[in-house]
Amino acid sequence: MTVARTARMDWSGPIAEILFGKEKRSIHIASQSQLESLLDQARANKVIARILPRTESNDSETNTELEKARAESRNRLQDALRLLNEAQKVCLDIGVPFTVIKSLDGVPDIGHDVDLLVGKNLQRVRSRLLSQFQCDTVTLTFCDRHAGKFSTFIRGFDSDFELYTRISQLGEEYYPEEDVLGRRREESVQGSKTFLCSQEDRLLITCIHTLYRHGKIRLSDLKVAHDALRSRIDSRLVMNTIEDAGIGKGFAVFLEILQRMGKEILGEDLVPDEFRHYSKTIVDRDRILRLLLKQIKPRFPLKMPVPLVTLLFLQKAAHDLVQNRLGSSLRALLAPVLLLIDKSVPLRIQKAISVRIW
């Protein structure tokens, strides 16, 4: 069954139907302009490699562009995996435990970088990388510098490489990276072995990064969460971590958006009863949160309203203060201020003065 679409449209529905396997549909493209709009939205949602095999056209020129996009997607994955294999050898050689975060959650889709969590060993790995490879360091944002992150381009690769000390936006605390590294699992990805996060940590990290770091939710993020929720996940571990980290409202928002997307686009419940009850209870108790959620329309990637992100950071700041995590509380309190400044200062100006904020 094919679905014809107009050039200027929201492709969230057909992309989600393919991504979540609701029906064996294909997307029929009538022109190159339609293809361009589809690819732009698919790329923004980090799902391009998964929708291209189910995209078709009767136009020869459009089919040529489709084949180019498929080849580009394959090359991107191969480049990223080659970079990962080279970079993780550094960790293995010096005995540093690591795990890939986010980058391989949607294979064959992959973003523009390869992310490794190495915890307190970041400086050791960074020093070895800089001495072993020809690297061009990337200018970090103000927040990234305070979060303990290192980013670089390694000569010979199109993808860039990032090291993380912790899961954070501005250095605020969520839960120990040692826990993530302790639950990592060795797996084979496209024939290469590496360490990946547990399903519990994939769910937690996806929630934290989408709401507290990037401020947007992609369809690929919802797919990661859905797959984790459908697996044999330790729900008590997830719930306890959420409460200890002080991100109950953020987790509830994330689940509500997943559930709403499922109902409105797919006609399905995507969140298990236990988690759905948790999120509904939190949202029902908070009138402001409920009103902010009502204003969100399910067009993906979904940019989170600044007032909502501000509310989540303020809630976390209050929680951390009660838990006597003063440093984390102050950083969480500072985050909304920096976010507002970032939104007020055009990106071109930030680039011109070489001071990226968020």
- What is the distance of C-alpha 246 from the center of its chain? 20
| Domain range annotation of the chain | 2-58, 77-196, 198-358
Buried b (16+ CB within 10 A) or exposed e, 163-191: bbbbbbbbbbbbbebeebbeebeeeebee
Please state which architecture CATH assigns to domain 77-196: 2-Layer Sandwich (3.30)
- Which 8-state DSSP code applies to residue 36? H
Strands 26-29 vs 2-4: parallel, antiparallel or unpaired = parallel
pLDDT of residue 8: 60
At 6 the pLDDT is 44
Closest to 353 (Cα-Cα) out of 343, 345, 341:
345
Query: Which pLDDT value is given to residue 277?
Result: 98
Predicted local distance difference test score (pLDDT) of residue 52? 97
For residue 290, give every residue at least 6 positions away whose Cβ sits within 8 Å of its Cβ, in sequence order, or none.
283, 284
Cβ-Cβ contacts under 8 Å for 318 (sequence gap 6 or more): 246, 329
Residue 7 has a pLDDT of: 42
> For each successive 10 residues of the chain (358 residues), what is the average pLDDT?
56 96 86 96 98 95 96 97 97 98 97 96 97 92 95 96 97 98 97 96 98 97 98 97 98 98 96 97 96 93 97 98 98 97 93 88
Crossing angle of helices 12-19 and 32-44, in 10° steps, is 60
Handedness of CA 357, 41, 8, 304 (dihedral sign): negative
Question: Is the dihedral angle over the CA atoms 273, 278, 279, 284 positive or is it negative?
Answer: positive
Which runs of consecutive H residues, i.e. helices, occur in the chain? 12-19, 32-44, 48-51, 60-93, 122-132, 142-147, 177-182, 199-208, 219-230, 235-245, 248-261, 273-285, 287-294, 306-322, 326-344, 347-352
pLDDT, position 51: 97
Phi-psi region of 269 (alpha: psi -120 to 50; beta: other; left: phi over 0): beta
Query: Distance (Å, rounded) from C-alpha 198 to C-alpha 156?
Result: 31
Report if pTM > 0.75. yes
